[in-house]
Amino acid sequence: MALKNYQYNKILREYDRKQLQNKHNLDIRTEEVYRAIPELKEIDDAVVTYAVKSAKLLLMGDDKPLPALKKMTEEASARRTALLVEHGYPEDYLQPAYHCPDCKDTGYIGNEKCHCFKQAIVDIVYSQSNIKAAIIRENFNTFSYDFYSEDYMDPSTGLSPLDNIRKIVESCWNFIHNFDREYNNLLLYGNTGVGKTFLANCIAKELLDRAHTVIYLTAFQLFDILEKNTFGKGEDNFEFQNQFDYILDCDLLIIDDLGTELNNSFVNVQLYLCINERFLRRKSTIISTNLSLDNINTIYSERVFSRIASNYSLLKIVGEDIRLKKLL
């Protein structure tokens, strides 16, 4: 996905910052350990001294010291680990702690952009600070069943709201665990305030943590991008075309609050294009909506309803408005 120079440089500066911070943190831990375990510093100094001597001999064509250097390095590494453990430190205490161990905070694996770099592009292009903030508050660790009643049975599901949400959460975890093995999509539907967006954010966090690219857009934001991509001109159109391409190709697209946008024939066509193209590419989508299935069938085209009904797991959440319950 193309970026403007200032956007690309912003991402690179962040990787530089992370690398400098990693080095600074490692230097602090190393100084701490050297003070606590003087023998460890002596081991490191001896290895460095011998390595320098070996390098000088190697430059003069003498490679005889190399086997001895290798043996010394292996023995020193084992002794360092033993000393750390003996003094109550983790074995990897003197290893860099990377934000992304896959690329070691460089942004690249070989010549290819790392998944963390791709997500950084998404976050900039779609201004996803909102989802980043949301998943800190709304994730499976903060999810609570306390807002779902077990005092009555909902006629549409045949379950109490509590039993129903337990079943839905299990389906969400199955979606996450099987994300790389099975193609699936989710429709989270139900009344206002029953936890649809919360669950979508829970899934988003788990998949982000598993190195997948996730785009979160409200229905209004999605159709605004689609409209500008279709009718825009010049440089702005190029930018919206980039956004559109990534919407179709990201690992997970979340369309939140479908039905709150101004509906018309353009929206119907673009919604079908979006979900159908992602279906053809086997890219998963989560849609949340306050609309019932009948409403979706009535408001949107039959093609849209058919694609959703036949290729999405339909998860109806029932219960009272949680936001109102929190105010009581």
Mean pLDDT of 166-186: 97
CA separation for the pair 264, 227 (Å, rounded): 12
Distances (CA, A) of 230 to 196, 227, 243: 30, 5, 12
Pairing of strands 108-109, 112-113: antiparallel
pLDDT (0 to 100) of residue 123: 78
CA separation for the pair 9, 79 (Å, rounded): 42
pLDDT at 4 over 90: no
pLDDT (0 to 100) of residue 252: 94
Sign of CA dihedral 304, 309, 315, 317: positive
pLDDT (0 to 100) of residue 9: 85
pLDDT at 88 over 80: yes
Task: State the pLDDT confidence band at 237, using cuts at 50, 70 and 90.
Answer: low
pLDDT (0 to 100) of residue 56: 72
pLDDT tens readout for residues 26-80: 999 999 999 999 998 888 888 788 677 777 767 777 677 677 767 878 888 888 8
Q: Mean pLDDT for the chain?
A: 87
pLDDT tens readout for residues 249-287: 889 999 999 999 888 888 999 999 999 999 999 999 999
Q: Are 125 and 7 in contact (CB under 8 A)?
A: yes
pLDDT (0 to 100) of residue 289: 97
- DSSP tag of 289: E
Predicted TM-score (pTM) above 0.85: no
CA separation for the pair 93, 105 (Å, rounded): 18
pLDDT (0 to 100) of residue 191: 94
CA separation for the pair 43, 36 (Å, rounded): 14
CA 265 from chain center: how many Å? Answer: 33
Q: Are 215 and 97 in contact (CB under 8 A)?
A: no
CA separation for the pair 195, 191 (Å, rounded): 9
Q: Are 290 and 163 in contact (CB under 8 A)?
A: no
